[in-house]
Each structure stands twice: as C-alpha cells, then as structure tokens.
Amino acid sequence: MPRKASIGATRDSAVYRVRIPAELKSEWEAHCERKGSSQHGLIRALMRYVIKDEMPPDVHSWVSGQIAGEPDEGPKQRLEVRFTPSEHREIVARSEAEGCSPQRWVINCVRASLTNQPQFTMDATKALWDSSGQLRAIGRNLNQIAKKLNEGGTQEISAAEMKNLSNCIYSHTELVSELQDASLSRWKIT
C-alpha cells in the first residue's frame, strides 16, 4: 500500500528529532490521548498552522515568547573595556545620534552581534508601535470592505480608494523594513 504524501510519510520525507522536558512529553501524550489525536499528526498540523502565519497576534506573541526562552535575569556581570580616544568619540557621537547612552549603545552592539537580531532604540520601538497601529487600522478597513462586498451591497469602491489603501500598506511595510535594516546595519562597522 502506498504511503500518504500528505502526512509526510514518503521516502523523501524528513524526520525531526527534538529534545523536550519529560514533563512536557507527559503532558503532550496525555493531551493527544484525551483528544484522540495522533501525536505525529498533531505536530504536522501545528507546523502547517505556523507556516501559514495566520495566527492571531496574541497567539503569535505567546509562541514567540516560548521560542525565545527565558530572559537572562541573573546578576549582571561587569566587564571593563577600554577604547582609544577616537573610538570613544565615535561611540559617544553614535549613541547621541541614536538617543541613548554610550553604555546602552555598546550593549546593543554586542546583543545585535550575538543574536543577529535588531536592537531598537525607544524612538524606533515607538515608531514600530505607531506603524503597527496604522496597519491594524488598515486591516479593519479591509475587513469592512470585504464584508460589504460579501453582503452584495451596492457600495462601490473606487480604484482611487483601493490605490490609497494599497499605498498605505506599502508605506507601512517600507517603514518597518527600513527600521529593521537600520537597526541591524547601524551596528556594522565599515
């Protein structure tokens, strides 16, 4: 009998090995048994759900938090670093341009290098919050438009209105991309 390609049980399928705590394994097995679900099938379904990237924002945040691990809340370790006068001047100048202290700027440089993740200043973070708020508003507008179209209403949507909405979305994505690029590239010394 041929294997079902939809479940990944073909010769070219991949096998993932993941270490999980014993407690989580027990909880997972109990959950699957209660639901009458295959452990492997449910994992494949979860992978498809995550790949679709249609999770509600609160679920996405929760999943991201689970992946990120626990914050390092132990006592901070002191490390003394000495810079040449020209390095120090440049660090001070760049930190002032970023709106943070020289110490915060150096910490962000180190974190960006260690994690390869953007380290945003408060100004950039606020801009991202504002930008995300605007995108949510655009999403609400799109939902209203879709609802009217699905209801078969006589409300006509002009090409100019759709173009305006499209421009708002592209502006938002450009802004976020520029902030992310700037956040990562500002730490590179050329």
Last residue of a domain, one of 29, 52, 75: 52
Q: Which pLDDT does position 86 carry in this prediction?
A: 92
Whether 66 maps to a domain, the answer reads: no
Give every residue of the chain whose pLDDT is below 70, as ranges.
Answer: 1-16, 61, 64-72, 116, 153-159, 179-190
138 with 181, same domain: the answer is: yes
Are 108 and 172 found together in one domain? Answer: yes
- In SS3 terms, the chain reads as CCCCHHHCCCCCCCCCCCCCCHHHHHHHHHHHHHHCCCHHHHHHHHHHHHHHCCCCHHHHHHHHHHHHCCCCCCCCCCCCCCCCHHHHHHHHHHHHHHCCCHHHHHHHHHHHHHHCCCCCCHHHHHHHHHHHHHHHHHHHHHHHHHHHHHHCCCCCCCHHHHHHHHHHHHHHHHHHHHHHHHHHHCCCCC
At 126-144, the pLDDT tens digits run 777 787 778 778 777 777 7
Residue 190, pLDDT score: 46
Q: What is the pTM of this model?
A: 0.41
Residues 91 and 177 in one domain: yes
Q: What is the domain extent for residue 119?
A: 85-185
